[in-house]
Amino acid sequence: NTELTDATVWVREAALFTIENITLTGGFSGLLGTNANLPQIRLTNCRLVGNNNFGLQLENSLAIATDTTFESGNPGSSVGVFLSSRLACNGCTFSTPGPNNVITVVKSLASMSESSFSSGPIRSESSIVNIFDSEINSSGPGVPGMVAINSSSVNLVRVEIFGRMLFEKSTS
């Protein structure tokens, strides 16, 4: 499963799609949401693991996750938020093998609370990322916990960070 459309579950232009207590594995993405934004995709107590590239991939979509685990395959990112998408997570776990981005947010908005991020950096490009009451733990020496570029806005409130942070190009 190496193509974008090889998702385990593909939610396209759906309204109020809910997934609860399930594991999504084996696709290019565990869950691909495209143009699914009225009102949102809901994930509760799910595991999006063992996928080729993304656990969750959003493109012009809105998703809300609670108590959900996102793990990427190699060389992927556990979550990709693209094309004006919005992601909100509470009590979620994000992990990736090695130095890959644990979550990638491009021209979108992501807000996470009471969540943990391990192994790779959180990458924000021309986006807004809000993280509250969480822990960021990069995988080792030289791997940043956060990379924010191209006019990103990053808000960290009561966040414990293990590893360095990199802010470039008009980022606040």
Q: In this predicted structure, what is the pLDDT of residue 5?
A: 67
pLDDT tens for 55-79 read 999 999 999 999 999 998 777 889 9
**Which residues are CB-neighbours of 69 under 8 A, at least 6 positions away?**
46, 47, 48, 49, 55, 92, 93, 95
Structure tokens given for 69? 């685990």
pLDDT tens for 84-137 read 999 999 999 999 876 788 999 999 999 999 999 998 889 999 999 999 999 999
Residue 81 has pLDDT above 80, yes or no: yes
69 or 167: which leads in pLDDT = 69
